[in-house]
Chains A and B, each alone.
Chain A
Amino acid sequence: MWKTILRRVLIMIPELIVLSILVFLLAKAMPGDPFSGSINPKTSPAQLHRLMAANGLFDPWYVQYWHWVVNLFHGKLGMSYEYQMPVINLIKQRGLNTLWLATFTMILTYAIGLPLGIFAGKHEGKWQDTIIRVFNYITMSVPFFVVLVIGIWIFGYALGWFPTSGSISPNANGMGETILSRLGHIILPGLLGALFGTVNIVQYLRSQVIDAKHSAFVKTAVAKGVPEKDIYRHHIFRNSLLPIAAFAGYSITGLLAGSIFTEMIFSYPGMGQLFLNAVNYRDYTVITTLVLLYGFLNLMGTLISDIVLSIVDPRIRVE
């Protein structure tokens, strides 16, 4: 099994190289140069030319790419044009906020989605199932941002239960208060994001449970005299939850995509918001770094899913 995992990790290397080359070329293709914006207006074109040459801007692309990669590993990602600070610091700060929100959303998604999916599957065709499915169809048919806007309007403005912007209250002092304030800021966006995220899980898990329920091996278990609750515990749940567990990795992608909407609407200073702003202000260094990061996280997500799947499913496990 270690061999499988190692092979899977090795496969990621060329993927990463291709991704980084694409991002690098994207960065090169963007208009402007790193100096025009920050130099003295009196600098002569000849001086500028010399400055660019000194920084290797006229080297062949692969040399430049190599320097870029080396810098990447040293955390030298360049300066943000808009925020006037190193991109690495900016992303550290924003990334942490997004990590908070994304983790919280993910926990909530599974905490709501798993029981609902199992419950719906178990009561297939009965009223409990119908209610869950109606809820699902409604959520599926309403665009995500509409849910967010309605949510923020009701619980943020009308009821005033939750803050409607920011990631932490500026008045929070001390460890306890800081954590509480952070939580307070992510409850509403997290809950709404989770509500949306559950749809797929509920739908998928429901059909998994129904499939398992009607499978021949469950019939065998009944014929063995296994009580119903044990059949659910040992056969149906286990068999339907494993693929879900394995797909957790893939859901990283969905979370990142979702965070762009959520952070924008909640003015939550995370990576998603940073990305949108960077696009708005043509903050190229930030854009390229984020594209690279998103790409990397995506690959990681798939990697995690593949590894988990190979661990939990004996049919895939290579012995």
Chain B
Amino acid sequence: MSLIKVKNLKVHFPIRGGFFNGVVDNVRAVDGVSFEIQPGETFGLVGESGSGKSTTGRAIIGLEKVTSGEITFEGHDVTSHKDRKEIDYDQDVQMIFQDSFSSLNPRKRIESIIAEPLKNFENLTPEQEKIKVLQLMKIVGLSPDALYKYPHQFSGGQRQRIGIARAVATNPKLVIADEPVSALDLSVQAQVLNFMKKIQRNMGVSYLFISHDLGVVRHMCDRIAIMNRGQIVEIGSREDIYKHPKHLYTQRLLAAIPSTRVADRDKDRERRQKIEKEYKEKQKDYYDKEGRAYPLVEVSKGHLVALPPKEALKYKDIKEEN
């Protein structure tokens, strides 16, 4: 059974306007997103700004009101706040934010910041609590003398590690990481990513890894969904997405990543501009009149692409033959 299952999730924000300031339209921030995450897996949600990737993450943890759709966690419906309270959802699902500084209370010491979720969900004696906090700090490579310091006394990378320690304090089953390393320098980023991987190995946690950085996503994720305009346009294994991208938008996104292969740079640039040109010409084929992506079709096992109806037909035929 999958750990979490998101089915046709929609989060719409009303646009107010007109004379009486009524709702004239909706921003379809998330517009029918479906995916599953397996226990112990890292699932990547990739897209550009405004693609709806962060809103999806926030809706799953309950920070955003779900317009319609269904979220099931270990078989329980957790779409509404009431449903979530009936199981240990708030304990089992935690979040790491991009801006760790503003998510940490500046007036609290690290000890109480990390201990906060423990206090909320577990009955521990002060000694047990302290031991647990020290263990957590060790997991993310912080020395015990950091216990009594305040958030501003740490560097960006250290603060992000504190955020991770807090997120995994209650042994969650799923951690939603929203751009966890985007604000960090390369060398610090490597360290944070290593800790995230180590925690996964030791605790078996699943990650919903939300990022715009395709390089980091490739390193971290087992399966990846590409989001554009609130919808998933392609979903598949790391191999599927990076080696055999099928959707035009995925191809464009991949081609745009600057590479460190100096020798190939003219070739890369040519390819990128070719795809960009193709994207301009063929973009309309990949989206319907309302700018929505077409339904996902399975092109190979576990690899789903929002192909235009004409191309999708090919794959449907193959499937039926099988």
Residue ranges of A at the interface with B (Cβ–Cβ < 8 Å): 3, 7
Contact = CB atoms under 8 A, between A and B. Distances in A.
B21 interface: yes
A310 to B, nearest CB: 14
Contacts of B21: 7
Contacts of A7: 19, 21
A135 B21 CA distance: 46
3 contacts: A3-B19, A7-B19, A7-B21
A7 B19 CA distance: 7
B21 to A, nearest CB: 7
Contacts of A3: 19
Nearest to A6: B19
B19 to A, nearest CB: 6
Interface string B16-56: 00010100000000000000000000000000000000000
A7 B20 CA distance: 8
Interface residues of B, number: 2
Contacts of B19: 3, 7
- Which label, helix, strand, loop or mixed, suits the secondary structure of the A interface? helix
Contacts, number: 3
Nearest to B20: A7
A6 to B, nearest CB: 8
B289 to A, nearest CB: 27
A3 B21 CA distance: 11
Nearest to A318: B17
Which 3 A-B pairs rank lowest in CB-CB distance, beginning with the nearest?
A: A7-B19, A3-B19, A7-B21
B124 to A, nearest CB: 46
A29 B19 CA distance: 38
A3 B19 CA distance: 7
A39 to B, nearest CB: 51
A7 B21 CA distance: 9
A139 to B, nearest CB: 32
A3 B20 CA distance: 10
A4 to B, nearest CB: 10
Nearest to A7: B19
A81 B260 CA distance: 89
Nearest to A11: B21
B92 to A, nearest CB: 42
B23 to A, nearest CB: 16
Interface string B277-291: 000000000000000
A215 to B, nearest CB: 21
A202 B305 CA distance: 60
A302 B19 CA distance: 20
Nearest to A10: B19
Nearest to B21: A7
B24 to A, nearest CB: 13
Interface in B191-217: none
A1 to B, nearest CB: 14
A279 B314 CA distance: 87
Interface string B109-148: 0000000000000000000000000000000000000000
B62 to A, nearest CB: 32
B15 to A, nearest CB: 13
Interface in B253-310: none
Nearest to B17: A318
A7 B17 CA distance: 11
B216 to A, nearest CB: 28
A3 B17 CA distance: 11
A192 to B, nearest CB: 41
A111 to B, nearest CB: 39
A178 to B, nearest CB: 49
A211 to B, nearest CB: 20
